[in-house]
Structures are given as structure tokens and as C-alpha cells.
Structure 1
Amino acid sequence: MSQHVSEQDVRDIAVYTRIGLTEEEVAQMTVDLNGIIESLKPITEYDLEGVEPTFHPIGDLSNIMRDDAEQESFTQETALENAPKQQDGCFLIPSILGEGGDR
């Protein structure tokens, strides 16, 4: 099996992704990654001359977006109608940090 990824490559990737690996894990990950890359080698043997790249598996799919249309929005009073608690024209919600109480 060829050496596509070195142990130093694995250490660099681990640092970049903030994954702590022991020396044993680095060695095993190096073997695993090289095995994965080697298993993909048959793909490189296909003759792809003249084959157009596919950028989306479904083909010609695209997002259909409507044009922005300005509309009336809720008034502050309407938005707060069903609020269990409100204060000074704002929603009053329970605090999840600190001393507790409403904020």
C-alpha cells in the first residue's frame, strides 16, 4: 500500500480541526486514511475523456425565488397581543443565564 498521508499530515489535520489524538491514534489514523485513499484508486482508472462534470446530482435543478414585494407588516401592538408578558413594548422572557427573573 502506498503512503499518501504521513503521520505529520494527520497531526496537522488534528491540530487544524482541534481533535486531540494520542500517538497510537495518529499511527492508526494514518493507516486508515491511507487505506481509504488506496480503496478509491480504481476510480482513477476510468476513461473520462469528454465527460462533462456534474455539479448537481439531480441535474438542472435550481432555486426558484419570488421577487421581493413590499407588504404591510405587523404593528408592534399586534405582535405583542399574545405575548404572555411584555414590558415597554418588548417581549419579556425568562432569563436563562445569571440570577434568573425576567429580562
Structure 2
Amino acid sequence: MTAISEAITKIKKAENDADQLIEDSKIKSSEIIEESKIKSTERVEAAKVSGYEEAKDIIFNAEAKAKKEAMSITAKAEEDVEKIKSKSMANIDEAASLIVKNIL
């Protein structure tokens, strides 16, 4: 009878150990899941920051390029205006002469 009692006690202890192991596993898996969620959130935030910084750099570079292009276009336009102005001024003397000749 002692052997049966010892067997029942061992079975009961094994059941308790199994229940405790299951409970410990549930707690551990919850901790792992929570840690994974935290790490995932951190990585998403890091990716957002990285993406934002990269976008800022792209925009800054695009603006710098556009400003440089605009300055180049403005300089070219000013140069063209000066050429037209010079040509016009050269013709003023001739036009004035013609007007004076026609009036007199």
C-alpha cells in the first residue's frame, strides 16, 4: 500500500510541477511578447526618424539645387536684358539722327 501511496504522491507532485511549468511558460511567453512589442515599437520609431531625416535631406538638397538653378536662370536673363539694352542704346543715336533729319 505504501508503494501505491508513494506513486500517487509522485504523480500529484509531477502534476503540480507540470502546472507550475505551464504557468511559468505562460508568464515567460507574455514577457517575450511584451518585449517584442516594445522592440518593434522602438524599431518603427527609429525607422520613422530615419525616414524623416532622409526626407529632410532630400528636400534640402532639392531646394539648394532649385535655388542654384534659379540663380543661373536669373543671371542668364540679366545678361540677355543687358545685351538687348546695349543693342537698343546703339540704335538710339541712329534713330535720333533720322528723326532730326526728317524734322529739319
TM-score of the superposition, structure 1-length normalised?
0.26
> Which structure shows the bigger proportion of residues in helix conformation?
2
Larger Rg: 2
